[in-house]
Structure 1
Amino acid sequence: MKKFKNTSEVEPYDGIIGQERAVSAMQLGLKMNNPAYNIYVSGDCGSGRITYTIKAIQSQQIDESKIKDWCYVYNFKDPRCPVAIDFPAGKGSEFKEYMEDLIESLTEEINDAFENEEYELTKNKLLQTYEYEKEKLLKSVRNYGKEKGFKLKSSSSGFIFMPINDNYEDEISAEEFCQTKKELEEMAIQVLYKLKELEERVKQVVIETENQIGKLVVVPYIEAAKKKYSDNKKVINYLEELEENILEYIYMFYLDEDDLKDKYDKNYTLKYEVNLFVSNENFSKVIVENDPRPSNLFGKVEYEYQNGNLKTDFTKIIPGSFHKANGGYLVLYVDQLLRYANTWELLKKALKTGQIDIEGQGFINPMPIPVDLKIILIGSRYLYSLIYNYDPEFMKYFKVFVDFDDEMDKNEKNEDAISGFISYQCEKNNYRHLTYDAVKQIINQSMRMVEDKSKLSTNFNKLMDMIDEGNLYAEIDGSKYIEKRHIEKAIQAKKYRIDKIEEKIDESYKRENTLIDITGKQVGVINGLSVLSTGEHTFGKPSRITVSTACGSKGIVNIEREAKMSGSIHNKGVLILEGYLAENFAQEFPLSLNAYICFEQNYGGVDGDSASSAELYALLSSLSNIGIKQNIAVTGSINQKGQIQVVGGIPKKVEGFYYCCKHKGLTGDQGVIIPANNENNLVLCDEVEEAIRNEKFHIYKVNRIEEAMEILTDEKFNIIKELSIEKLKKYSEYKK
């Protein structure tokens, strides 16, 4: 890291650090103009994956021709299927306003036209003509009936003829009476037909007159609208159907409110409204949907109750995130997406069909809208593997995997980038700047987080925690800069907040409630090392492992397994012991023994194979009857050939045994045996590092079982092996 006094001298850096692989994949995914190249972003929380994803999207150039406004309008041919019309971004609201003004102007002018005195005179004249012709026809029927001795009366079913004289039936024959009445009724029927024809003719003339007047008002407006939107075929089709509908129902425009209320739908202009479904006047390149339920993603149709009935219309179609992000990018969180049973299938359907369907529950089925966007899923590696393995179509639509690493190389470039990041955060948050030593302490802590001297953590959230809290302690001290001691205090204060369980365990060692010896030698007893995690806090603790051997044929008995407290990896580690024993101790006679292995005072279960070497050392001690030093704890897994293999959690394990020894009394000869290949993981806290430098605590690095056994027993391995073979021979003879 380049030298500086404080981070105010460092150029601020706001980019992504140590994620070259992820950056390369992201750039490919964003630039690839292919609907199958959607992106899955994986990585740990705090790695900057979300921040970087948003910034990377914002830096992309958008094809503005893809950005559209969408409006839904009434479908005059099929009201259940509203029509979707697209416009250039920002023009949808203009169309909505234009149509509102058009309908308002038409309403006023139609009212004026039909309230015109000339129209009223024409209409009245037609009605008077109808009444005159009607009366003329009825008069001819009455007169003829009177000549025949009948009078005409109207009824609900039509006209009837009654004799004028009550004695008329007696004056003529029955046959003549019936014949005359029948003749008159037939005449009346003919008159009714003529009246109906007359009424229809007059009505048609009125309609034609209304239509002529309506056209004079409506057509100029519609033609002007068609001219304005001549380049949009969908609008032209809509305007033509709109014109036809207005002329057909033109009387709705001039009826007074009482007539509308009593006879017709008062809200008759609803079908002439425009639903501005998506407006991209202020287009956002990226939409982040935090609640990806189907309605939020793909839109919905809202409903309301009217007189106990569920009703809706095209103005109640609501857009989803797919519609809002159309032409840009949609970011979804996988863990949230998978909470809803059918969301994943609907998402694939949209990608497969290239359109977004809105479910209208059978009331209305809006016209689908074409989809042209890129989807970015953000989730864990586990969920990526889960979807990949269980859905064969996943890779068909998400071809780009952007994998954020949880660590990066510890080199000058990355250290300088972290310094720039800290400088940027100080400027952004108006914090005090950090001294060189304070930045170095943060980098050391970053190294401890990944437990590797050659790596740094990419969890910048945790780095920011140290800066946030360090700034507070610097403010309390009245310091001009955030110094190393403030960062150390922030680290220790956080540890104190979350290490209650560790303290309780340390207390149990002090009180000897948990039995651990750190001096002397014991046969078949060894101090193994394990790691416990309580949420955010992880720490190491020593565990006593004991082995008892006897003649028999059960082989190695894992007491933890028998008690159902052992995990599969631990079980495998124990089984490897049998392979090692068979190759090294049973070439001349069959292996026959009972060996019982136990983690003493273990009540929470055991897993992992990092104790397999400790279990073998204790087993060899029991067989050879040679004591093992209790001042040395061990960790490391073994293979069947006796090699010591790397394990995780080395710093925590070493520190765990150191603090146990400290609480019970440091003697200067205590230490830990670790695999030699784990040397790079010895990223220890300052106190333990100092104790090692001052030779108050020791680290022993081994490659093979033989090396470790000689350190633990101060005996040559050949002697241990010979004594073990002698006992195993006896066990074999006892079996015979």
Structure 2
Amino acid sequence: MPTDTRTAPDLDVGFGQQRALKALHTALDIKASGYHVFAAGENGLGKRTVISRLLTRIAADAPTPDDWVYVHNFTDPRTPLALRLPAGQASLLQQQVNNLWQQAKKRLSQRFRSDQYQSKIEAIKNSTHQKESHAYDALNAEGKQYDLALTFRSFDNKAVFVHPSQLPTESNSDDDKQIKTPSNRKNLEKLDDSEKVNILGNENTENKDSTYGNNEYEAELNNFVQKNHMQKRLSQLTIALEQLEDEANDEIEALHRSIAQRALQPLFTPIYEQFSTHPLVVAYLEAVFDDMVTHVERIVNGDDEEFVTAVLATTPSRYAVNVIVSHTPDSGAPVSLRICQPISIYWGMSSKSPN
């Protein structure tokens, strides 16, 4: 007799149940679905123990089922993609993508905060600003032929053509304003005759200036055709400058994509090679790469919840690999023990469609 029962072999619980064991082996050899085995007998005979040990022994030699994961569908976000991988690969893919996100975010932040990147952005903006300035200067020179000047309105910074006389000039001194205001005309009675003559003479001069200003305004109306022509030219220039800004934005976006591709490609290449035998997984990783390149600004800025890691999470939900089923490699088929399950579990489910 062994001194320690832990080293003793397991008892043959099927002793004396050869017919039952033969029936179980016959049932388990049937690979088709839809078959069930019912074990009947008195309590305490060891039915559950015999069946559990037999199933565990047979399942250990059976092939291990594949793993399944759910990932984000970048084409249709409402319909996630289900990816099938060999046993043990689901957790590995999840870990690799988590590490990939951490490294990608760190590397992109470094690239987009570097002095080299800032200098390239400033060069694009300065070039665009110079082109805009040259275009406005050329149009202003053209407007001078019609005695018109190009200026920007103070309240909306919009470019308009006006007569040179309407350009803003320096205001008069406060003393002149105080003397010329109607409320202070009563003070003339306190002045001597010579001062009255000087003040009234100034007012007459002001009236003449006002009359001259009206004549200028009438002259501007007479040149309506020329001004209308220049306003149309200004509208055309505005459209051209908007296109110039669009081109500058496209150039900046192309720069962002180029920087992101160079930064991310070394991180994705090893994972491509690791899962090269699984085309669907590689296609998903390529979609992740393209999505990161497209939304690199939102990733770097971190101002969008789709690209921000939630609490207790390591990866944003957009790039998370959700493991649904995972098995240990070479662990055999799983054996599930369910106690007191409803009868519908064994009968299956029926669906009723509306008429």
Same fold at TM > 0.5: yes
CA displacement, residues 547-586 of structure 1 (integer Å, 9 cap, x when unaligned) = xxxxxxxxxxxxxxxxxxxxxxxxxxxxxxxxxxxxxxxx
> What is the aligned counterpart of 1:278 among 309, 315, 325?
325
Q: Does the Cα contact within 8 Å between 1:90 and 1:281 map onto a contact in 2?
A: yes
Take 1:18 and 1:64, find their aligned partners in 2: how far apart are those partners? 27
Q: Does the Cα contact within 8 Å between 1:72 and 1:275 map onto a contact in 2?
A: yes
* Residue equivalent to 2:334: 328
Normalising by the residue count of structure 2, what TM-score does the alignment of the two structures yield? Answer: 0.69
For 1:216, the aligned partner's letter is: R
For 2:320, the aligned partner's letter is: E
Q: Does the Cα contact within 8 Å between 1:65 and 1:88 map onto a contact in 2?
A: no
Aligned: 1:170 with 2:218: yes
Aligned: 1:182 with 2:228: yes
Take 2:254 and 2:70, find their aligned partners in 1: how far apart are those partners? 32
* Residue equivalent to 1:86: 84
Q: Does the Cα contact within 8 Å between 1:111 and 1:254 map onto a contact in 2?
A: yes
**Judging changes above 3 Å, is the alpha-carbon distance between structure 1 residues 348 and 211 closer, same or farther for their aligned structure 2 residues?**
same
* Residue equivalent to 1:32: 30
**Judging changes above 3 Å, is the alpha-carbon distance between structure 1 residues 62 and 348 closer, same or farther for their aligned structure 2 residues?**
farther
- SS across alignment from 1:72: strand
For 1:188, the aligned partner's letter is: L
Take 2:350 and 2:42, find their aligned partners in 1: how far apart are those partners? 29
1:45-124 equivalent positions in 2, closer than 5 A: 45-62=43-60, 65-124=63-122
Q: CA deviation at 1:57?
A: 0.6
Take 1:196 and 1:264, find their aligned partners in 2: how far apart are those partners? 31
Take 1:12 and 1:240, find their aligned partners in 2: how far apart are those partners? 52
Unaligned runs of 5+ in 2: 1-8, 167-212, 310-314
Q: Which has the larger radius of gyration?
A: 1
Take 2:296 and 2:262, find their aligned partners in 1: how far apart are those partners? 12
Q: CA deviation at 1:17?
A: 5.6
Aligned: 1:252 with 2:311: no
Aligned: 1:220 with 2:269: no
Take 1:273 and 1:224, find their aligned partners in 2: how far apart are those partners? 19
Aligned: 1:207 with 2:226: no
**Judging changes above 3 Å, is the alpha-carbon distance between structure 1 residues 82 and 224 closer, same or farther for their aligned structure 2 residues?**
same
Q: Higher strand share goes to which structure?
A: 1
**Judging changes above 3 Å, is the alpha-carbon distance between structure 1 residues 13 and 235 closer, same or farther for their aligned structure 2 residues?**
closer
Superposed CA RMSD in Å reads: 3.3
For 2:342, the aligned partner's letter is: L
Q: CA deviation at 1:54?
A: 1.0
For 2:267, the aligned partner's letter is: Y
* Residue equivalent to 1:149: 148
Q: Does the Cα contact within 8 Å between 1:150 and 1:162 map onto a contact in 2?
A: yes
- SS across alignment from 1:106: helix
Q: Does the Cα contact within 8 Å between 2:69 and 2:83 map onto a contact in 1?
A: yes
For 1:336, the aligned partner's letter is: Q
1:583-662 equivalent positions in 2, closer than 5 A: none
For 1:328, the aligned partner's letter is: P
Residue identity over aligned pairs, in percent, reads 19
Deviates more, 1:16-25 or 1:32-41: 16-25
For 1:171, the aligned partner's letter is: A
Q: Does the Cα contact within 8 Å between 2:71 and 2:320 map onto a contact in 1?
A: yes
Q: Does the Cα contact within 8 Å between 1:72 and 1:85 map onto a contact in 2?
A: yes
Take 1:181 and 1:42, find their aligned partners in 2: how far apart are those partners? 104
Take 2:33 and 2:306, find their aligned partners in 1: how far apart are those partners? 49
Q: Does the Cα contact within 8 Å between 1:72 and 1:276 map onto a contact in 2?
A: yes
CA displacement, residues 221-256 of structure 1 (integer Å, 9 cap, x when unaligned) = 22221111111112111111111111111123332x
Take 2:237 and 2:218, find their aligned partners in 1: how far apart are those partners? 29
Take 1:253 and 1:79, find their aligned partners in 2: how far apart are those partners? 18
Q: Does the Cα contact within 8 Å between 1:150 and 1:161 map onto a contact in 2?
A: yes
Take 1:12 and 1:241, find their aligned partners in 2: how far apart are those partners? 53
Take 1:34 and 1:61, find their aligned partners in 2: how far apart are those partners? 16
* Residue equivalent to 1:337: 342
**Judging changes above 3 Å, is the alpha-carbon distance between structure 1 residues 279 and 239 closer, same or farther for their aligned structure 2 residues?**
same
1:223-234 equivalent positions in 2, closer than 5 A: 223-234=269-280
CA displacement, residues 502-546 of structure 1 (integer Å, 9 cap, x when unaligned) = xxxxxxxxxxxxxxxxxxxxxxxxxxxxxxxxxxxxxxxxxxxxx
Q: Does the Cα contact within 8 Å between 1:145 and 1:152 map onto a contact in 2?
A: no
Q: Does the Cα contact within 8 Å between 1:148 and 1:180 map onto a contact in 2?
A: no
For 1:121, the aligned partner's letter is: S
**Judging changes above 3 Å, is the alpha-carbon distance between structure 1 residues 130 and 63 closer, same or farther for their aligned structure 2 residues?**
farther
Q: Does the Cα contact within 8 Å between 2:306 and 2:318 map onto a contact in 1?
A: no
The alignment covers a number of residue pairs equal to 288
